[in-house]
Amino acid sequence: RLDERTREIVKATVPVLAEHGEAITTHFYKRMLTERPELKNYFNMTHQKDGKQPRALANAVYAAASHIDDLSAIAPAAETIAEKHVSLNIRPEHYPIIGEYLLKAIKEVLGDAVDEEVIDAWELAYGEIADLFISIEDGKYKASAWTGYRLFTIHKKVKESEEITSFYLKPEDGGPLPSYRPGQYIGIKADIPDYPHTQRRQYSLSDAPGKDYLRISVKREGGTDEIPAGLVSTWLHDQVQEGDVVPISAPAGDFFLDESTSRPVVLLSGGVGLTPLMSMYKKTRDERDVYFIHAARNGGVHGLKEEMDGEQTYVVYETPSEEDKTLAAYDKAGYVDLDWLRNVVPKEADFYFCGPEGFMRAMNGALHEWGIPDDQVNYEFFGPKGTL
Ligand code: FAD
């Protein structure tokens, strides 16, 4: 355990570091990835460009440091991050490298504003935080269905909408599949032809457990004139074919259906955020009172439509097409809002949501306004962990 003086120094300097948080972590990534280019195989290189990864790391480190007296206060956040790390195959030997470059970045960005004593205190604090993650992750690796990557064959590739395609994965070794909790994801290791680094992404399992395959459903991030297309999703859509083999990490994640209660369940999804909720829906629809509300731009991009076939399912299209109107394919045009929501779902329920950030913010705000207790509200980010 750190001595009191060290802890005091760290707590006192958290605001200084937080103020320069993104500058420090941006510098950190730049230098580390230049000097240790092999680490580019572990990081999402797109998130380096859009700043999301440095932001997420900065927030995580400062949150931990401000609770250095009692790291158990960050347990829920640590749990989410550790699950992600396990799915990325992050190992104890990676932590000292991160620590080294983080301290260098603090020194270089803050210069004279920090003295040797402060740097030493942060080195010790980083060590303590790293040890916490290493021990949580060690437990998870031991409990995992397999560690690292297992090869899976693309058994079937099915187009679900204009943008979403499902991939049915079967283990190449022919061995049994693990069970998983509906809502969890797998990791995929992508070695894309002509792209210089291995890239890793997570995809939620979109079918109920207990099948002889794992299914993921992926949105093609096609990009625009200004924004480059997504690396892994376009590779999966355009290049990966039935019969191909891809390395997959074991199911992980702390966003899953709480099966210890029989309370009603309300699932709220936006766009491709429906995948973890579809798994929950299929697993539990015959056992509990389940409501599934899905928001999409229109019917053309609404994937897995025919699997939302229960009575308590509601479809909300932002701008329904003429065909959607003719088919009366939706329950509401526009957005999911609280006035509508309180008429279609019960308040005494467990709520789960996932979707684009704007959608998640709106759902979080609506549930908060409605007075749903925090411990009945669960959500997943399809990107670096953020805050709502
Ligand atoms: P990336 O290359 O990572 O790019 C991401 C986005 O940024 C793209 O939209 C791209 O067009 C844009 N972009 C590229 N370059 C730039 C730039 N310079 N500036 C600004 N923007 C840029 N996805 C699913 O489809 N289905 C799922 O079930 C699913 N489940 C997930 C579960 C979890 C827990 C997480 C964390 C993510 C999940 N995702 C899911 C998202 C998925 O992991 C990928 O992030 C997604 O497929 C995009 O990856 P990519 O490599 O195609 O895009």
The pLDDT value recorded for residue 49 is 79
Question: Active-site residue 137, yes or no?
Answer: yes
The pLDDT value recorded for residue 305 is 95
**375 vs 16, 31, 242, 365, CA distance in Å?**
32, 40, 42, 15
The pLDDT value recorded for residue 384 is 75
State if residue 71 touches ligand 1 by the CB under 6 angstroms criterion. Answer: no
DSSP letter for 249, please. E
Q: Please provide residue 256's backbone torsions phi and psi, each rounded to the nearest 5 degrees.
A: -150, 165
| Interior/surface letters 266-299, b for 16+ CB within 10 angstroms, e for the rest | bbbbbbbbbbbbbbbbbbbbeebebbbbbbbbbb
State if residue 129 touches ligand 1 by the CB under 6 angstroms criterion. Answer: no
Nearest atom of ligand 1 to the alpha carbon of 47 = 3
Nearest atom of ligand 1 to the alpha carbon of 232 = 51
Q: Determine contact, residues 280/182, Cβ cutoff 8 Å.
A: yes
Nearest-5° angle of CA 295, CA 290, CA 170?
80
> What is the rounded CA–CA span in Å between residue 261 and residue 36?
47
From 29, 62, 137, 317, the catalytic residue = 137
Mutate which of 50, 53, 181, 221 for ligand 1? The one with the most ligand atoms within 8 Å of its CB, which is 221
> What is the rounded CA–CA span in Å between residue 384 and residue 372?
25
Q: Determine contact, residues 167/240, Cβ cutoff 8 Å.
A: yes
From 29, 62, 95, 330, the catalytic residue = 95
pLDDT tens sequence for the chain (388 residues): 799 999 999 999 999 888 888 889 889 999 999 999 999 999 998 888 777 787 788 888 888 999 999 999 998 889 999 999 999 999 999 999 999 999 999 999 999 888 999 999 999 999 999 999 999 999 999 999 999 999 999 999 999 999 999 999 999 999 999 999 999 999 999 999 999 999 999 999 999 999 999 999 999 999 999 999 999 999 999 999 999 999 999 999 999 999 999 999 999 999 999 999 999 999 999 999 999 999 999 999 999 999 999 999 999 999 999 999 999 999 999 999 999 999 999 999 999 999 999 999 999 999 999 999 999 999 999 987 777 8
- Give the residue whose CA is nearest to atom 8 of ligand 1: 230
The pLDDT value recorded for residue 6 is 96
Instruction: State ipTM.
Output: 0.99
Quote the ligand 1 centre to 344 CA distance (angstroms): 32
Domains and CATH numbers, the chain: 4-143 (1.10.490.10), 150-252 (2.40.30.10), 265-380 (3.40.50.80)
